Structure 1
Amino acid sequence: MTVHSQGAATSAPQDAPMKSAAAPPEAPVSGSDRGRTSPRGARRSLPSGWLPYLLIGPAVLSLAVLLLYPLIKNVILSFQDINKIEFIQRKYPFAGFGNYTELLGDANFWTVVVRSFGFTLANVALIMVLGSLIGILLNKLGTKMRLVLSMALVMAWAMPIVASVQVFKWLFDEQFGVMNWLMRTAGFAGYEQHNWMETGLSTLVIVTILVVWGSIPFVALNMYAGLTTVGAELYEAARMDGANGWQTFWKIVFPNLKPFFLVTTFLEVIWVFKAFTQVYAMNKGGPDRASEILPVFAYVEGQSQAHYGLAAAISVLTIVILVVVMSFYFRLILKQEEEQ
């Protein structure tokens, strides 16, 4: 008999056990049982080390199918002597290094190489200078004018290349071109039906204007984004020290945005060096193949001249030249990262 604090009595069962029955001890787990799967119905997880490879697997497979396989086939083709007759007869005679020997001993090939480097250098220099200036202008403008200029840059950047080429061909047309009309209006003689693409140099100048016009937005918008990361106190300190705009750029802006200039210049070199569409769509590398750069030279040799093995060798040499040039630039970028 037990009595609660309120005085009520309750009886406890006399046969209640004094303690609960002890649970049976668990069997020891052997080393072989630790690696077994969980009970039926549970999902077995993959090792954590495989997850990154599974995530990048589809991308690697796509690159291998779309880029690596054609590259390997192109390298094999560069060692074969395939022209129009061999292509029709489905004969693929092995030529060894004959295509490469012929190219390296051809003066026209080296002329195209020099032209390609000059074209790339002129375009990249203009793109970086003008794009940086417009980026600085975006940083100085008010909100409304910045929005208007940014929209104009985005529309120029988003315009398809073939459509922009057609616009430029109309601007420089012999009979109905705007440039001839402007020159006549300004009082210059000899522009009634002036052919702006009469020479290879003049054609490349027009292509350069087109490439620079289409590439400036990328540099300008990225330059503006980089300038927003530079603290206002740095400009204020430079202003108090009496620095002018040019000194402020070289002492404040350029050191802080040096990685931007390195990476952007690297990308522009690649994009301009392989600018095929603009050159070919403007005048098909003419007149008399005088405006060809390496990608156009390879295409004309392969498709127009039906020298497929030689064209493959040109493309392989183009890749090799670009890799060699970019290797020096990679070293500069890596050195910059080590100094930071």
Structure 2
Amino acid sequence: MKLPTPDWITLPAGQALLAALDAAAGATRLVGGAVRDGLLGLAGADIDLATRLAPPEVMRRLAEAGLKAVPTGLAHGTVTAVGEGIVAEVTTLRRDVQSFGRHAQVAFTDDWQEDAARRDFTINALYAELPGGQVHDFWGGLDDLAARRVRFIGDPLQRIAEDHLRILRFFRFSARFAAQVDGDGLAACTARANDLMALSRERIALELRLLLGLPDPAAIVALMLERGIFRPVLPELAAVRLPVLARTIAAEAEAGLAPAWERRLASLLPANIRVAADIGARLKLSNPQRNRLVAAVQPAGANSHSGPPWDAAYRDGAQAVIDRLLIAGEAAAARPLIGWQRPKLPASGKDIIAR
């Protein structure tokens, strides 16, 4: 199987990058999400390159090619290459020597299969030659991709012990790609759910944002709640609120609005601003994200009135009222507020003084 030619390869910076890293000679390949999504006809995945070249050699070659080389993770073999219209992460082939939950001691290698063995899921361990596009598959990722199956490489329990974040990634990728959730992976994630307590809350927040930002994650969120996945870190998320999440997703679509993960998170919480504020603090959300979450859990207030709730929008801002109305399933009432800005009094104090 061959990967369709990515657009970035045609850019001068892309050509320079591939030439610098001897891609045509087989020293460097595209890997991970860019291969997976490219085979599915999806766009937008980050550019990740795996190379047999050592990190200092990568740095030297990029500089000689006129590309910026940023040593973003030299200890783990990663250099970020920056050129006009292109940003790519270049990582030397690795094998794990020892893992510590989220961090691993690695050794560099020139064996593609060793590098593939340390990755999480089979569909993320596909490598493509550039510029030809020939795909190399060491763990059955192509078959899993065709079957829309998200499957751990090796023993799921062991892979989760190596990196606890893989629990949340398993569900996120299943929500995005899977036709049916893999039973072995689900059992392992359920058994090791308490491992999530060892993760930083920022990482949990990022995975939650990516999951809830998918077109329709309701079925996977329901499965996670059923299996107690959130219980160790977000016990406030309640299965009783799942119909509200489904209603919110439907209302977003009816109103023609893109998914908003803060709004969807609010739909899973009780209508309690203290709970929302506590979760915002626990997940270390930014101030705008915390404020939006707290505002969204409050009752819509003006839902029962005829016409758009302009008073509430003027007082609390259009976004807050739109969130509340969509959570209440009232897309029609929310639609007139989309793009609405609070009007400003055309006369100021300076005008009055001048008169």
For the aligned pair, the TM-score class normalised by the smaller chain equals under 0.3
- Greater relative contact order structure (CA < 8 Å, 6+ sep): 1
TM-score, normalising length: structure 2? 0.22
Find the structure with the greater CA-based Rg.
1
More strand by share: 2
